[in-house]
Chains A and B, each alone.
Chain A
């Protein structure tokens, strides 16, 4: 776990602080921890070793800066190197001048090719294209049927017939031309790289359809074998890129780095869930953070921007800062948060969130959110504006109205008042770094030097790749998880008023 990595490096740092630069032996000691972290993330050993020597080059000779401890500096180098390797030579999806653009998917069994095919079709559709799916997996029982069902919910047509995979691919392509579709996605059977017959068949399909893009679908939970798989498929099919699946698992996904490392082809798409929409372009910074076990502020921001209604948020934001936040505002915020998706997913993106907190968030389901909402909705407008008037009999009424218990109402009210207290403190903090600092405190990072919003935004537009380190390298004193002792969590006193920068 990254927490361990950062902790160990921090401890190491103490003894190094006085020096101007890292000696080779200091660096060796630091890199041992990094190696462990990478191996725990399932990065293939060969790639780990090669990667570490590159990091060594990067760090060596670099003068130590005052703002970062030596340990932090090492992590920064590792992080930057990861981004560089993961993000080098990005692939731009272009469309063939002579449609259709042909996309071929290959991979081991169970990597998620069929689901990915449907997700990819939906993605192209959202880009304004007219995709067409070709089901050439005649191997696995019911694979064609699976693709049909998925394609139906994506609103995309599927071609298949019971001939041979090569024939299906060829005829599917013709059919797409006839129908005037401009993107054809071919799903092939899962195969082992050492199965010569099947690999030859994959080559034959590629030869018959001359794909514009050939993607290897690779599973994020894959172990050391990722290098073999990627290499063999690349040798056979000349991949244009990789698609990584099952990123919603709690695996760290080192396989991505392994595969990337041996074929030198970029990761283009990432699949993050079971629904068809859980699919997006791949962002190296996020993967780098993930391999090291760090949160992903950027995704969070982006998700918020995409789904939140800024007018609603802005309105209650003012009140939030001035400490006059009401339960009505809370209700509005709750609605916004629900739009963003599962809390568990969101928590995964927050930096410095403890495992317990994450587990707790994972366990919060619609029902819990509904209950909280029901409690607030069972209050009168007057009560929502001023919860202090809620006495015992009102509590009983609210509990009955929301089909919950008095103690649930009590908990909510208590939590709400603590949260309000905390917000008031944040509101009085100086702007704008102050707010960011308060966020930092919230997010569990030590306040001084935490990245302000502006920095985050720069990051997002890809300016400062090194930025997230600010957030990352600080020892996580996270959101003291409210799993059991939730009450302690939001104590106003916990939020140290952020220091000025």
Chain B
């Protein structure tokens, strides 16, 4: 099947190229655009003033936004008028809840009214969208080594999350082995090794560019032989729109799930500042690696992580852990009620 695609693509590109060459011929003599690599001057130096819309208006609006949540809380109970709806919409949208989920929530709010006050009504609506079971599994079948696989795009904090998980699993008295399956990013294994030292865990690593599957395989073998209680497997960050990279991930998962290993958790790590792209991350990673839960990191900043609402509603995948800071203890279980309260500023 792919040969068809290849031929088609080659032709398309070739035709474009042909036209370009043709065009070059026919414009001979005409001034040609300066070669690009030569100079950054291509960024034209004449400057048009930035339309003040973005500067002035936005600044003003930002200044006002501080009172927004207060405004929301004081809205009158009962039916929803347009101003109320707009305020609700603004809060949800600006928390990255996403347009679709926001529209659904608003629709429900309009339908049921808010006799007990908007915040309570909204709270109830949002909470209804969360899944109920978010327990983490550490037990595997008899004679098998439980493996937690950490997956995600680049820069979301996978390696750091593993360090923190290792810490709390150690605190729970488990013997933890880390598998440095990120063989792509420079020094990723070094970073994980420092975590291993810090948490008193063991680590299995291989050289840069090694096959991640083999690293995980080795780790499981070792864990089995030396009676480790849990293997935490790191993987390289990868964009979610490349089938090849996802296939590689699927392979790592297969390897990890082969006896004596057993993947009991596949945790997709998502940056809390991520916008709507998180949806496509979940979709793609879930397809490749059967995600069992989500870890939402970096929620200690100004980002509100509203994407969690959309993720749970759309995929019924639980957010299991949230990262609230850089400290080793700052990875905690996700509590929907607390989360929604924080979201609504209640």
| Chain A bound to chain B | yes
Q: B187 at interface (Cβ–Cβ under 8 A)? A: yes
Q: Quick check: A146 and B187 within 8 Å, CB to CB? A: yes
Q: B153 at interface (Cβ–Cβ under 8 A)? A: yes
Q: Quick check: B4 and A222 within 8 Å, CB to CB? A: no
Q: Quick check: B58 and A361 within 8 Å, CB to CB? A: no
Q: Which residues of A contact B243 (CB under 8 A)?
A: 359, 362-363
Known: A251-B275, A486-B4. 10 other contacts (CB 8 A): A140-B160, A142-B187, A225-B302, A320-B15, A333-B14, A343-B6, A343-B9, A346-B13, A362-B242, A442-B15
Interface string of A119-162 (1 = CB under 8 A from B): 00000001100000000000111110111111000000000000
> Which stretch, A177-185, A453-461, A468-476, touches the partner chain B?
A453-461
Q: B interface, by DSSP: helix, strand, loop or mixed?
A: helix
Q: Tell me how far the C-beta of A222 lies from the nearest C-beta in chain B, rounded to whole angstroms.
A: 5
Provide the bound-state CA to CA distance between A429 and B132, in Å: 63
Provide the bound-state CA to CA distance between A362 and B6, in Å: 11
Q: A264 at interface (Cβ–Cβ under 8 A)? A: yes
Mark out the residues of chain B between 315 and 341 whose CB falls within 8 Å of any chain A CB in the assembled complex. Answer: 326
Q: Tell me how far the C-beta of B197 lies from the nearest C-beta in chain A, rounded to whole angstroms.
A: 9
Q: Quick check: B307 and A223 within 8 Å, CB to CB? A: yes
Q: A246 at interface (Cβ–Cβ under 8 A)? A: yes
Mark out the residues of chain A between 467 and 501 whose CB falls within 8 Å of any chain B CB in the assembled complex. Answer: 479, 482-484, 486-487, 489-490
Q: Quick check: B99 and A39 within 8 Å, CB to CB? A: yes
Q: Quick check: B27 and A416 within 8 Å, CB to CB? A: no
Provide the bound-state CA to CA distance between A248 and B240, in Å: 10
Q: Quick check: B187 and A308 within 8 Å, CB to CB? A: no
A108 with B273, Cβ < 8 A, contacts A50-B53, A149-B187, A223-B303 known: yes
Q: Quick check: A84 and B48 within 8 Å, CB to CB? A: yes
Q: Quick check: B20 and A304 within 8 Å, CB to CB? A: yes
Q: Quick check: B4 and A150 within 8 Å, CB to CB? A: no
Q: Tell me how far the C-beta of A363 lies from the nearest C-beta in chain B, rounded to whole angstroms.
A: 4
> Which stretch, B73-81, B90-98, B216-224, B249-257, touches the partner chain A?
B90-98
Smallest Cβ-Cβ distance to B13: which chain A residue = A337
Q: Which residues of B contact A415 (CB under 8 A)?
A: 3-4, 7-8
A372 with B7, Cβ < 8 A, contacts A126-B37, A337-B14 known: yes
Provide the bound-state CA to CA distance between A129 and B3, in Å: 44
What are 25 A-B interface contacts by the 8 Å CB criterion? A46-B57, A46-B58, A49-B61, A50-B58, A51-B54, A90-B44, A92-B40, A93-B40, A148-B187, A219-B273, A223-B303, A228-B301, A248-B239, A250-B241, A264-B54, A281-B36, A304-B16, A305-B20, A333-B10, A333-B11, A333-B17, A364-B5, A483-B1, A483-B5, A484-B1
> Which stretch, A21-29, A70-78, A167-175, A431-439, touches the partner chain B?
A431-439
Smallest Cβ-Cβ distance to B9: which chain A residue = A343
Q: A371 at interface (Cβ–Cβ under 8 A)? A: yes
Q: Which residues of B contact A456 (CB under 8 A)?
A: 23
Q: A208 at interface (Cβ–Cβ under 8 A)? A: no
Q: Quick check: B3 and A371 within 8 Å, CB to CB? A: yes
A453 with B195, Cβ < 8 A, contacts A47-B58, A51-B54, A192-B300 known: no
A246 with B54, Cβ < 8 A, contacts A109-B298, A112-B154, A454-B23 known: no
Q: Quick check: B40 and A281 within 8 Å, CB to CB? A: yes
Q: Quick check: A47 and B54 within 8 Å, CB to CB? A: yes
Smallest Cβ-Cβ distance to B236: which chain A residue = A274
A150 with B186, Cβ < 8 A, contacts A194-B301, A337-B9 known: yes
Q: Tell me how far the C-beta of B238 lies from the nearest C-beta in chain A, rounded to whole angstroms.
A: 9
Q: B112 at interface (Cβ–Cβ under 8 A)? A: no
Q: Quick check: A281 and B298 within 8 Å, CB to CB? A: no
Q: B111 at interface (Cβ–Cβ under 8 A)? A: no
Q: Which residues of A contact B53 (CB under 8 A)?
A: 50-51, 53-54
Q: Tell me how far the C-beta of A441 lies from the nearest C-beta in chain B, rounded to whole angstroms.
A: 10
Smallest Cβ-Cβ distance to B198: which chain A residue = A141
Mark out the residues of chain A between 306 and 342 whose CB falls within 8 Å of any chain B CB in the assembled complex. Answer: 306, 308, 310, 313-314, 316-317, 320-321, 330, 333-334, 336-337, 340
Q: Quick check: B1 and A486 within 8 Å, CB to CB? A: yes
Q: A88 at interface (Cβ–Cβ under 8 A)? A: yes
A88 with B241, Cβ < 8 A, contacts A337-B13, A361-B5, A457-B23 known: no
Q: B280 at interface (Cβ–Cβ under 8 A)? A: yes
Q: Max chain A CB contacts within 10 Å: which of B14, B36, B244?
A: B14
Q: Quick check: A364 and B9 within 8 Å, CB to CB? A: yes
Q: Which residues of B contact A419 (CB under 8 A)?
A: 7-8, 11
Q: Tell me how far the C-beta of A488 lies from the nearest C-beta in chain B, rounded to whole angstroms.
A: 10
Which residue of the partner chain, among B16, B59, B239, B271, contacts A439 with CB atoms under 8 Å? B16
A313 with B273, Cβ < 8 A, contacts A109-B298, A224-B95, A453-B23 known: no
Q: Max chain A CB contacts within 10 Å: which of B17, B43, B53?
A: B17
Q: Quick check: A221 and B153 within 8 Å, CB to CB? A: yes
Provide the bound-state CA to CA distance between A442 and B15, in Å: 9
Mark out the residues of chain B between 11 and 43 whose CB falls within 8 Å of any chain A CB in the assembled complex. Answer: 11-27, 33, 36-37, 40-43
Q: Max chain A CB contacts within 10 Å: which of B9, B61, B154, B244?
A: B9
- Interface range for B: 35 or more
Q: Quick check: B2 and A249 within 8 Å, CB to CB? A: no
Provide the bound-state CA to CA distance between A46 and B44, in Å: 28
Q: Tell me how far the C-beta of B171 lies from the nearest C-beta in chain A, rounded to whole angstroms.
A: 20
Q: Quick check: B54 and A453 within 8 Å, CB to CB? A: no
A310 with B57, Cβ < 8 A, contacts A112-B154, A346-B9 known: no
Q: Max chain B CB contacts within 10 Å: which of A112, A228, A251, A334?
A: A251
Which residue of the partner chain, among B11, B240, B277, B302, contacts A194 with CB atoms under 8 Å? B302
- A-B residue pairs, 6 tightest by C-beta: A223-B275, A110-B155, A486-B4, A42-B275, A149-B186, A261-B54
Q: Quick check: B276 and A40 within 8 Å, CB to CB? A: yes
Smallest Cβ-Cβ distance to B297: which chain A residue = A110
A435 with B277, Cβ < 8 A, contacts A224-B96, A337-B9, A411-B4 known: no
Smallest Cβ-Cβ distance to B23: which chain A residue = A453
A439 with B15, Cβ < 8 A, contacts A88-B49, A249-B277 known: yes
Provide the bound-state CA to CA distance between A370 and B24, in Å: 31
Mark out the residues of chain A between 339 and 376 whose CB falls within 8 Å of any chain B CB in the assembled complex. Answer: 340, 343-344, 346-347, 350, 359-365, 368-369, 371-372, 375
Smallest Cβ-Cβ distance to B55: which chain A residue = A264
Q: Which residues of B contact A188 (CB under 8 A)?
A: none
Mark out the residues of chain A between 368 and 403 whose CB falls within 8 Å of any chain B CB in the assembled complex. Answer: 368-369, 371-372, 375
Q: Max chain B CB contacts within 10 Å: which of A42, A139, A225, A313?
A: A225
Mark out the residues of chain B between 193 and 226 whose CB falls within 8 Å of any chain A CB in the assembled complex. Answer: 193-195, 208
Which residue of the partner chain, among B19, B43, B44, B186, contacts A145 with CB atoms under 8 Å? B186
Q: Tell me how far the C-beta of A217 lies from the nearest C-beta in chain B, rounded to whole angstroms.
A: 10
Provide the bound-state CA to CA distance between A39 and B97, in Å: 11
Q: Which residues of B contact A486 (CB under 8 A)?
A: 1, 4-5, 8
Which residue of the partner chain, among A90, A192, A313, contacts B43 with CB atoms under 8 Å? A90
Q: Which residues of A contact B10 (CB under 8 A)?
A: 330, 333-334, 337, 372
Provide the bound-state CA to CA distance between A183 and B217, in Å: 45
A85 with B44, Cβ < 8 A, contacts A46-B65, A223-B276, A262-B62 known: no
Provide the bound-state CA to CA distance between A84 and B51, in Å: 8
